[in-house]
């Protein structure tokens, strides 16, 4: 799953990363991409299995090794430590882990945003305002925590009005089944399972904050700069896979069924998760979103959330500590320490059929 932040690992990762990044800036032929189980990232596994990644790598005379991780955070830590050239991650975790850790990272592909996959669920009431005074079980310092903060803000409450109880995603279903647990924040497929239980009410979900929980494929900026073929091959493979999986014919259903099986469900279950995910199947859609002013506002909200929760580093004097660059040339934060870059140029090439 794509959710948890381990702040305590940041220092060790930073040290390792600082030692390894100098090896990135060179012309190379072999590259490694890490991905983890999530509806929006399953296409990487299927694209590799179908030979689509190899086809595009061959076109550009390179090799790309696609490696699945069952532990989302470990995949990001491995990327941050220099073991991988790219990784799948949310916008929030990209900023909080590799970028805060000093790794200059580029969002190469904007794959989707959560559009209902993440939810606040209350037991016995369908009114979000009734969350006041309750204990809320969630994976602390995750995008679930972010969603809760945004939900509370929508009704003029804050975290001071509730009590957060850190609960592993693995324990969430069992926790909700107990009488003492009356409020949870989690993500699909856990949301669907909890909502099937008696008296469960979804009172806020990510469709209320569309475009804020973004799922990306990010790469090391220095690697991309010296090896644009890596970015072109990844982008070409991604959109060939997008075109295949959106088809309603036998081939499209077979691909989605395979991704469903690989993620522990079936075609119906995978399609259900896709319904609450805004996939950017066409590069034009992703380019439009990546160049929108909405992305500026979202990243400002995200960086402030991270700062307020100490996830930009204990010594961070303000949310400006890490610079975030956008395709229009604007920079949010420290212009002298830009570590997070949104680059739509490769997706634009795909939109113009120039890959």
Query: Which of 1-15, 157-171, 263-277 comes out lowest in average pLDDT?
Result: 1-15
pLDDT at 15: 42
State residue 179's pLDDT score: 95
The whole-number pLDDT of residue 189 equals: 77
What's residue 3's pLDDT?
52
pLDDT at 241 over 50: yes
Please give the structure tokens belonging to residue 246.
């959106």
3-state secondary structure of 193: helix
pLDDT band of 225, cuts 50, 70, 90: very high
Helices (H), the chain: 10-20, 42-49, 52-59, 72-80, 91-94, 143-154, 172-176, 190-195, 221-226, 228-245, 250-262, 267-275, 283-290, 293-308, 345-351
Cα 328 → chain centroid: 22
How many other CB atoms are there within 10 angstroms of residue 163's CB atom?
A: 12
- Cα radius of gyration (the chain): 20
CA-wise closest residue to 4 among 139, 120, 96, 118: 139
Q: What is the mean pLDDT of the chain?
A: 91
C-beta pairs of 300-303 under 8 Å, 24+ apart in sequence: 300/332, 301/150, 301/212, 302/91, 302/92, 302/95, 302/146, 302/212, 303/95, 303/332, 303/333
pLDDT tens column, 155-191: 999 999 999 999 988 899 999 999 999 999 998 878 8
* Per-residue model confidence (pLDDT) at position 212: 94
Q: What is the pLDDT of residue 2?
A: 52
Predicted confidence band of residue 12 (pLDDT cuts 50, 70, 90): very low
What span, in angstroms and rounded, lies between the C-alpha atoms of 195 and 210?
21
Instruction: Give the integer Cα–Cα distance in Å for 162 and 152.
Output: 9
Q: How far is CA 196 from CA 121, 191, 193, in A?
A: 12, 9, 5
* Lowest pLDDT segment from 131-140, 179-188, 224-233, 307-316: 307-316
On whether the CB atoms of residues 100 and 68 are closer than 8 A, the answer is no
Instruction: Determine the Cα–Cα distance for residues 38 and 203; give it in Å rounded to an integer.
Output: 23
Which range (61-70, 87-96, 136-145, 333-342) has the least confidence?
136-145
pTM above 0.75, yes or no: yes
Query: What's the pLDDT score for residue 17?
Result: 45
Closest CA to 108 of 300, 281, 290, 324: 290
Residue 263: which pLDDT band, with cuts at 50, 70 and 90? confident
**pLDDT at residue number 143:** 86
Average pLDDT over residues 42-70: 97
Strand partners for 18: none
Q: What is the percent of the chain with per-residue pLDDT over 90, rounded to a whole number?
A: 81
């Amino acid at each position: 799953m794509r959710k948890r932040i381990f702040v305590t690992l940041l220092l060790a990762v930073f040290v390792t990363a600082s030692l390894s990044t100098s090896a990135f800036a060179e012309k190379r032929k072999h590259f490694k991409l890490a991905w983890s189980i999530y509806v929006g990232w399953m296409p990487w596994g299927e694209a590799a299995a179908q030979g689509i990644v190899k086809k595009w790598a061959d076109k550009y005379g390179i090799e790309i090794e696609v490696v699945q991780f069952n532990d989302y955070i470990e995949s990001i830590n491995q990327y941050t430590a220099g073991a991988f050239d790219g990784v799948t991650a949310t916008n929030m975790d990209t900023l909080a882990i590799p970028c805060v850790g000093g790794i200059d990272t580029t969002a190469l592909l904007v794959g989707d945003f959560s559009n209902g996959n993440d939810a606040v669920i209350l037991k016995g009431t369908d009114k979000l305002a009734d969350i006041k005074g309750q204990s809320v079980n969630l994976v602390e310092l995750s995008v679930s925590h972010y969603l809760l903060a945004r939900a509370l803000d929508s009704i003029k409450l804050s975290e001071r009005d509730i009590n957060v109880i850190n609960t592993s995603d693995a324990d969430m279903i069992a926790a909700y089944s107990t009488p003492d647990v009356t409020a949870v924040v989690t993500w699909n497929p856990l949301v669907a399972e909890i909502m099937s239980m008696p008296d469960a009410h979804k009172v806020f979900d990510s469709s209320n904050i569309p475009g804020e929980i973004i799922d990306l494929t990010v790469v090391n900026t220095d690697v991309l700069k010296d090896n644009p073929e890596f970015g072109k091959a990844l982008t070409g493979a991604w959109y060939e896979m997008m075109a295949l999986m959106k088809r309603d014919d036998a081939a499209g259903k077979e691909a989605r069924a395979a991704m469903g099986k690989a993620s522990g469900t079936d075609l119906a279950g995978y399609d259900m998760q896709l319904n609450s995910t805004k996939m950017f199947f066409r590069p034009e859609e992703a380019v439009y979103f990546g160049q929108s002013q909405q992305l500026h506002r979202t990243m400002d909200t995200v960086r402030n959330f991270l700062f307020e929760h100490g996830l930009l580093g204990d010594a961070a004097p303000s949310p400006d500590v890490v610079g975030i660059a956008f395709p229009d040339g604007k920079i949010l934060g420290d212009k002298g320490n830009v570590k997070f870059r949104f680059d739509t140029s490769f997706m634009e090439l795909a939109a113009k059929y120039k890959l």
